[in-house]
Amino acid sequence: MKNAPINLLNHDRAGLETLFLDMGEQKFRAQQAMKWIYGEQNLDFDAWSNFSKVLRARLKDDYQVAVPTLLSEQVSKDGTIKWLLKVDEVNAVETVFIPEKNRGTLCVSSQVGCTLNCTFCATGAQGFNRHLTTAEIIAQVWVAAKQLGHHGLDRKITNVVMMGMGEPLANYSQVLPALNIMRDDFGFGLANRRVTVSTAGLVPYIDRLNADADVSLAISLHAPHDELRNQLVPLNKKYNIKTLLASCKNFIQNKRKARITIEYTLIDGMNDRPEHARALCKLLANIPSKINLIPFNPFPGTAFKQSQPEAIEAFKGVCMKNGFITTVRKTRGDDIAAACGQLAGEFMDRTRRSAQIKKMQLEVVA
Ligand code: SAH
C-alpha cells in the first residue's frame, strides 16, 4: 500500500533540507519550495517552474501541501477578524487577526482545546481533543496571509502571538518548527521579537525554548502568590511561582532579552486589589518585565466577572508607580467571541470535560 503523502507544511527549512537530500536532491530545493509555499502562496507543484518535470512528478506522487479548509470568517465591528479552520472531520480551530495602527497581530492556536483547565478560560472549559501538527499551526498564518492579501511589501501580519487555543509549550515538538517557519526569511520573515510564545508556565519547556528559539516570551501569571495562582492556573501546583520566575530569569539572561511580558488577567474580586498589585511588583522586582493587564473576558457559563474600570486603573497605577511599563489590553473582537480566552473552536472533547459534545454545524466558506 502506498504511504500517505507527506505534507511539506510539517517541515521547517532544516526539515525540508533533509527531505530533499533524502530524495537525492540538493539542499537549496528547500528554500525554493518555501518561496513557492510562503512567498508566492502557490501550492500547485505544476507551477513550481524552477523544479524539473521529473522532480515535480515525484513531489506529486509522494508529497502534498495541505492547508485546512476555511469554515468561516467573522469580522468584528472593530476590524478584528476570526477564522475557523477545519483540521479534521470533528475538529476546528480558531485564529484571530487584530489590526492596529502600526501593526497587525495574528493570534494562533496550538492545540484543539487545552488540558490545563485554567478556571477563567473558555478553551480550558471545553476540554481537550488533540495537539495540532506543525502544518496545522503554520497553515493558520498561511490562510490569514492569504485572506488578508499579505504579500510582498504589503505585509499585513507584523506579529504572531501563540495566544490562541491551547498551551503552546505542551505541544513543543510541533510548535517549534512552526516558530522557525514564522521567522525564516523564506517563510514569513518575522523578526524574532515579533513572535511571542505565551505559556501558563510549563517550566521544562521554557528551558528548552531558551536553548532552541530566540522568540519573545509571555508568562500568564495572573496571581502574585501560590495560593491564589493554584486556584486560577492549576499547573501552578506542579511548577510554582518561584520555579517559574527562576526559569524566566534564565531565559532573559541567556537570550539577552530586554524583558519578558507578564500577562495578568484582572478578575473582579479575585486578583484585582491594590495589595495584589503591590505583591506583584515586589515579586517581579528582579525580573526585567513589562506587565500586560487583561480585563477578564466573560464566556458562557463562567461565574467570573471583569474587574471594575476603577480597579483596573488603580492596579495599573500601582504597577506604573513601581516602575513597570504597564499596558491594559484593549478588548478586541468580543462581539464575535474573538477576545482573549473566548476562543473555543468546535471539537469533540475526548476528556469529556465539557458537559456536551458539540456538533459541528458549519458552513464551508466558498
Ligand atoms: N496557554 C497559553 C496561551 C493561551 S491564552 C497561556 O496560558 O499563556 C492567552 C492569554 O489569555 C493568557 O494569558 C490567558 O491566561 C488569557 N486568558 C484566558 N482566558 C481569559 C479570559 N477569559 N479573559 C481574559 N484573558 C484570558
Residue nearest to atom 5 of ligand 1 (CA): 163
Whether pLDDT at 305 is above 90: yes
Domains held by the chain: number: 2
Is residue 203 in some structural domain?
A: yes
Q: Are residues 187 and 218 in the same domain?
A: yes
What mean pLDDT value characterizes the chain? 91
81-125 pLDDT, tens digit each: 999 999 998 899 999 999 999 999 999 999 998 999 999 998 877
The response to whether residue 175 sits with its C-beta less than 6 Å from ligand 1 reads no
Judged by DSSP in three states, 195 sits in strand
Check whether residue 313 and residue 220 sit in a common domain. yes
Same domain, 195 and 279: yes
Which residue's CA lies nearest to atom 3 of ligand 1? 163
Within a domain: residue 171?
A: yes
Residues 107 and 173 in one domain: yes
- Kindly state whether residues 187 and 311 are assigned to the same domain: yes
The neighbouring-strand residues paired with 263 are 220, 292
Report if residue 58 sits inside a domain: yes
Grid coordinates in use for 358? 458539540
- Looking at per-residue pLDDT, the higher value among 4 and 188 belongs to 188
CATH number at residue 207: 3.20.20.70
Residues 148 and 277 in one domain: yes
**Is residue 1 domain-resident?**
no
Instruction: Out of 57-66, 329-338, 341-350, pick the least confident.
Output: 341-350
Most ligand 1 atoms within 8 A of CB, residue of 106, 120, 266, 292 to mutate: 120
Residue 65's pLDDT band, with cuts at 50, 70 and 90, is very high
Asked whether residue 362 carries a pLDDT value surpassing 70, the answer given is no
Is 80 exceeded by the pLDDT of residue 365?
no
Do 197 and 343 lie in one domain? The reply is: yes
Domain end point (choices 24, 44, 64): 64
* The pLDDT of residue 356 is above 80: no
Helix 13-22 crosses helix 172-183 at what angle (to 10 degrees)?
A: 100
- Tell whether 10 is covered by a domain: yes
Q: How far is CA 84 from CA 223, 345, 348, in A?
A: 32, 7, 15
Query: Under a CB-based contact definition with an 8 Å cutoff, are residues 103 and 90 in contact?
Result: no
Lowest mean pLDDT among 83-92, 190-199, 215-224: 83-92
Residue 76 has pLDDT above 50, yes or no: yes
355 — pLDDT class (breaks 50, 70, 90) = very low
**CATH number assigned to the domain comprising residue 44:** 1.10.150.530
Residue 1 pLDDT grade (very low, low, confident, very high; cuts 50, 70, 90): low
180 plus 33 within the same structural domain: no
Range of weakest confidence among 34-43, 94-103, 256-265: 256-265
Pair (133, 262) in one structural domain: yes
What is the end-to-end Cα distance of the chain in Å, rounded? 34
What torsion, rounded to 10 degrees, do the Cα atoms 220, 221, 222, 223 define?
Answer: 170
Residue 181 and residue 323 in one domain = yes
Q: Which of 194, 163, 193, 195 is nearest to 177 (CA)?
A: 195
Number of residues written out for the chain? 366
Distance between CA atoms of 9 and 7, rounded to whole angstroms? 5
Q: What is the DSSP letter of 306?
A: B
Q: Work out the average pLDDT over 274-284.
A: 98
pLDDT at residue 351, rounded to an integer = 59
Catalytic residue among 17, 94, 136, 346: 94
Last residue of a domain, one of 47, 64, 81: 64
341 lines ligand 1 (CB under 6 A): yes
Q: Is the CB of 94 under 6 A from ligand 1?
A: no
Comparing CA positions, the residue from 27, 151, 131 lying closest to residue 87 is 131
- For residues 155 and 295, membership in a common domain is answered with yes
Strand 104-107 relative to strand 92-99, pairing: antiparallel
| 181-185, 231-235, 297-301, 350-354: the lowest-pLDDT one | 350-354
What is residue 171's three-state secondary structure? helix
Q: Residue 348 pLDDT more than 90?
A: no
- What percent of the chain shows pLDDT beyond 90? 80
Residue 322 has pLDDT above 90, yes or no: yes
Of 46, 64, 82, the position where a domain reaches its end is 64
17 is catalytic: no
Q: Kindly tell me the sign of the dihedral angle through the C-alpha atoms of 209, 210, 215, 216.
A: positive
The verdict on 251 and 299 lying in the same domain is: yes
Q: How confident is the model at residue 141 (pLDDT cuts 50, 70, 90)?
A: very high
Structural domain of 161: 69-365
Average pLDDT score over residue span 287-303: 93
Annotated catalytic, 107?
A: no
